[in-house]
Amino acid sequence: MAIQTNVTLDAIGLACPMPIVKTKKAMNAMEPGQVLEVLATDKGSKADLQAWAASSGHQYIGIIEEGSVLKHYLRKSNGEEETEKKHPYVISNEELVEKLQDSSVIIVDVREAAEYAFTHIPGAVSIPIGDLEKEASSLNKEAEIYVVCRTGNRSDLAAQQLAKQGFQHVINVVPGMSQWTGATESL
C-alpha cells in the first residue's frame, strides 16, 4: 500500500540510538498532526520507536516491513486529547456498530491518509481534515454523515466545519478509531 506522508527520514544502516535521535530531531521540525515516515534497518527500532512515541505523546501509526527495511509511520502530537468537544450531535462507537447493520450509512474518516491506510471501518471514505473544505462538495448535504477520527477531536472540528457549510445531519463518532472494536479493513 502507498502511504502518504509529509516527511521521510532515512535511517537505513544506522544503529541504535541513532534512528530515534534522528526521529526526535525530525519531529521537532514538523507541524503538529503531520505524518513522518522513518526508514530503518535496526531491528531494535521496532519496539523502541513505539515505546518512544508512547512516552513522548506522539502517535505510532504502524509499520510496513519490506525485506530488511522497516518503514515506520508516526504522527506528530497536536495536543488534541485536551481540547473540548463542541459539536452537539454525537454517537458512541457501539451505537455506530449497530447502525452499520443498515448498509446505507455514510462514514467520513478525517484522519490522515496514512492512519486510514493501516486501519479503517469498511466502506468509510477517507477525507483528511485538511482537505475537507474543498472535498466536502462530493458529499450529499441532506444525508446522515458520521464523522470519525482517532479520539473524537478532529472529527468534532470536522463536524462543526461541515455544519457551517450547510450539512444538515452530521454526527461525531466518539471516541472513534482508538477504541474501535467493530470490523476494520486496511489498504
Partner 1 sequence: MTYQPMTAKEVTKKIFNKEPLFILDVRNTSDFEDWKVEGANFTHLNIPYFDLLDGVEEVLPKLPTDQDILVVCAKEGSSVMVADMLSEAERDVSYLQGGMKAWSEHLEPVRVGDLKDGGEIYQFVRIGKGCLSYMVISDGEAAVIDATRMTDVFLHFAKEKQATIKHVFDTHLHADHISGGRIIAKETGASYWLPPKDAAEVTFDYNKLEGGREVMIGSTAISIEALYSPGHTIGSTSFVVDNTYLLSGDILFIDSIGRPDLAGLADDWVGDLRETLYKRYRALSDELLVLPAHFMTVSELNEDGTVSEKLGKLFAENHGLNIKDEAVFRSVVSENLPPQPNAYQQIREVNMGKIIPDEEEQREMEIGPNRCAVR
Residue 17 within binding range of partner 1, rule CB under 8 A: yes
Lookup result for grid cell 443498515: 102
Q: Is 28 one of the binding residues for partner 1 (CB under 8 A)?
A: no
Q: Nearest approach, Cβ of 138 to partner 1 (angstroms)?
A: 42
51 binds partner 1 (CB under 8 A): yes
Task: Give yes or no for residue 55 binding partner 1 (CB under 8 A).
Answer: yes
Distance in angstroms (rounded) separating the CA atoms of residues 83 and 154: 10
* From 13, 15, 16, 29, the catalytic residue: 16
**Strand order through the sheet with 7-11:** 7-11, 35-40, 69-75, 59-66
* Exposed e or buried b per residue across 114-124, where buried means at least 16 C-beta atoms within 10 angstroms of its C-beta: bbbbbbbbeeb
User: Is residue 29 near partner 1 by the rule CB under 8 A?
Assistant: no
The verdict on whether 16 is a catalytic residue reads yes
The count of chain residues that interact with partner 1, using the rule CB under 8 A, is: 15
Interface residues with partner 1 (CB under 8 A)?
15-18, 20-21, 24, 43-44, 47-48, 51-52, 55-56
As annotated, the active-site residues are 16
